[in-house]
Amino acid sequence: MMRTTLQIQVTEMFFSVTTERVPARLNRAALFDDLVKQTHRQAYSLAFRLTGNSSEAEDLVQESLVRAYRFFHRYDESLPFSSWLYRIMANAHIDMVRRRGRLRTTSIEGSGADGSSTWDLPDPEASPDRLMLESALDEPVQTALMAMTPEFRTAVLLADVEGMAYEEVAEIMKTSVGTVRSRIHRGRKQLRSHLLKNAPETYRSLCDEL
């Protein structure tokens, strides 16, 4: 189906613009390289929290940057570049997990008020890299994050780790502030119950500390 569509479009493209190639604009290239240098660390950290391991995190950052570059001419400079990049990343991540989930299971839909299921199936590949996570609490938290649906995980990470306001999160996730509010609230409660169940001592000692 998709292949057929693609072929038809490729045919059209072949006859019309195959020989056209946009010449590289040096300024644009240099500007983009600077943005890569400035944003890739923070983007990688978020990507790691989203995916739970370094190789998927690198892939996610890489794919998102390539797409950001291709569509750089449409980038609205009133928005911070990192927000735009996060937007590409967050949606790419959700899209990826959804597609992967669809392959693995027939029905995990339905229990969420906003159309997302409350708990995602744990991904066997998603256990966090032990070496990458330094503090004692980090690993249980990352494991708890990976047990959430990508929508909840993304909303909680953008709000609590990146420190964004609900409106910014809504903008990035292309949804309403009300949905963001619900995802963050339910996401935090899921995290808490996961930690209480799987790492109660670490969690309790940490709460006392805070």
Partner 1 sequence: MNCKTVQSHLSAYLDRELSGEEMLDIRAHLSECFVCCEEETELRSLKRLLGRLPAIEPSGDLEQRLLAVVGAARTGERKPGRQAPFVLFAGVTACAMAITLAFLSKSHTTPAEATMQSQDIAFEAQRIHDYTGGGDAYGAPIVSAASYAGR
Interactions with partner 1, residue window 74-113 (CB under 8 A): 74-76, 79, 84, 87-88, 91-92, 95-96, 99-100
Give the separation between CA 119 and CA 111, rounded to whole angstroms.
9
Q: Which is nearer to partner 1, 18 or 107 (CB)?
A: 18
- Judged by CB under 8 A, the residue of 13, 31, 113, 136 near partner 1 is 13
| Site residues (CB under 8 A) for partner 1, limited to 153-192 | 156-157, 159-161, 163, 165-166, 174, 177, 181, 184-185, 188-189, 191-192
**Residue appearing with tokens 């449409």:** 74
Instruction: State in angstroms the smallest separation of the CB of 104 from partner 1.
Output: 13
Q: Which of 153, 147, 155 is nearest to 124 (CA)?
A: 147
Structure tokens at 23: 């010449």
Which of 1, 27, 70, 78 contacts partner 1 by CB under 8 A? 70
Binding mask 24-53 for partner 1 (x = CB under 8 A): x----x--xx--xx--xxx-xx--xx----
197 counts as binding partner 1 under rule CB under 8 A: no
Distance CA 69, CA 75 (A): 9
Nearest alpha carbon to residue 141 among 131, 153, 150: 153
Q: Which residues pair with 148 in a beta bridge?
A: 119
Nearest approach in angstroms of CB 151 to partner 1 is: 14
Q: Cβ closer to partner 1: 122 or 174?
A: 174
Residue closer to partner 1 by CB (options 14, 104) is 14
Nearest to 53 by CA among 163, 162, 132: 132
Q: For residue 104, give the H/E element and its range.
A: helix 81-104
CB of 149 to partner 1, least distance (A): 17
For residue 49, CA distances in Å to 57, 76, 128, 142, 194 come to 8, 27, 9, 7, 16
Q: Which of 64, 143, 154, 179 binds partner 1 (CB under 8 A)?
A: 64
Token representation of residue 25: 């604009």
